[in-house]
Amino acid sequence: MTPGQHGETEAVVGQDDQPMPSLTEQMAEQLGGWRGLAESSVPIAVFVICNVLWDLSVALVAAVGVAVGIAVIRLVQRRPIRHAVNGLFGIGIGALLAWRTGEERDFYLPGILYGIGYGLALLGSVAIRQPLVGWIWSIIAAGGRSDWRADPVLIRTFNRLTVLWGVVWLIKVGIQAGFYLAEMETALGVSRLLLSYPPYAALLAITIWVVRKVDRERREMQPLLAPSG
């Protein structure tokens, strides 16, 4: 091993000085816990139910009202509002579009377009050798460090994970787009609920488990890489 290679190895393994949060802690942080999951799903569920029982205008008012109410409750309780604000933003754009066109299915169009863009961005990042999952990992789990860029094993790992995320994202948004084009509003709403957090949670769990596994194996190799004498 050359001195330069040894320096790179030290840079990579240096991030192991502090233990990583547990799998459940990382999952809870990114998903917002069970409360975050419920709060992000309730406005969509309200829209689907109200649209079936009444009409578009009632469904829009109810969905937006619930989303605003959740955000206000979060503020009053002095709790983090990141997930609530994200949900309110998405609900607001969809509601505005559906109100302007008068088409129930347009409520879901922003989410479909976002999903297509996100899936293509994931796959595109692999093509230019900048796997997006790796950079997201740097932000949410590595304190902003990008030491993984010096580790070929981690680069390959993040490349594969990013491809997995991109393919799954395009599949799920493709299903929703099919219902959108077929003008099957109720099926579209149900698919939005079923294909929202479950695939995301599964991908997140796989990503955390794989990266932690690679990280653990690298730490086990660290004594072998240390200079002798």
pLDDT in tens, 81-122: 666 676 778 888 999 999 999 999 999 999 999 999 999 999
Cα–Cα distance for residue pair 160/182, rounded to 1 Å: 33
Query: Residue 82's pLDDT is what?
Result: 66
What one-letter code names the amino acid at 71? A
Other Cβ atoms within 10 Å of 192 Cβ, number:
23
Residue 78 zone, left/alpha/beta (φ > 0; ψ -120 to 50; rest): left
Residue owning tokens 């799920």: 172
Q: Which residue has the higher pLDDT, 123 or 45?
A: 123
CA–CA distance, 30 with 201 (Å, rounded to integer):
9
Residue 139 has pLDDT above 80, yes or no: no
Structure confidence at residue 74 (pLDDT): 80
What pLDDT digit, counting tens, does each position of 180-227 carry?
999 999 899 999 888 987 898 899 889 989 998 988 887 777 655 555
* Nearest Cα to Cα of residue 200 among 154, 158, 170, 165: 165
Q: What is the pLDDT of residue 99?
A: 92
Looking at residue 3, its pLDDT comes to 40
- Please check whether residue 186 is in contact with residue 52, taking contact to mean a CB–CB distance below 8 angstroms: yes
Report the pLDDT averaged over residues 175-180.
96
Name the residue with higher pLDDT: 206 or 8: 206
**Is the per-residue pLDDT at 1 higher than 60?**
no
**In the structure, what pLDDT confidence band is assigned to residue 169 with cuts at 50, 70 and 90?**
very high
To the nearest whole percent, how much of the chain has pLDDT over 90?
39
pLDDT of residue 5: 43
Structure tokens at 155: 């680069």
* pLDDT of amino acid 18: 52
CA distance 23 to 13: 20
* Single-letter amino acid, residue 64: V
Collect all residues with Cβ–Cβ distance below 8 Å to 228 and sequence separation of at least 6. none
pLDDT in tens, 13-55: 344 445 555 545 555 555 555 566 667 778 888 998 998 888 8
Q: DSSP assignment, residue 18?
A: S
Residue with tokens 């829009």, as numbered in its chain? 60
pLDDT of 91 reads 86
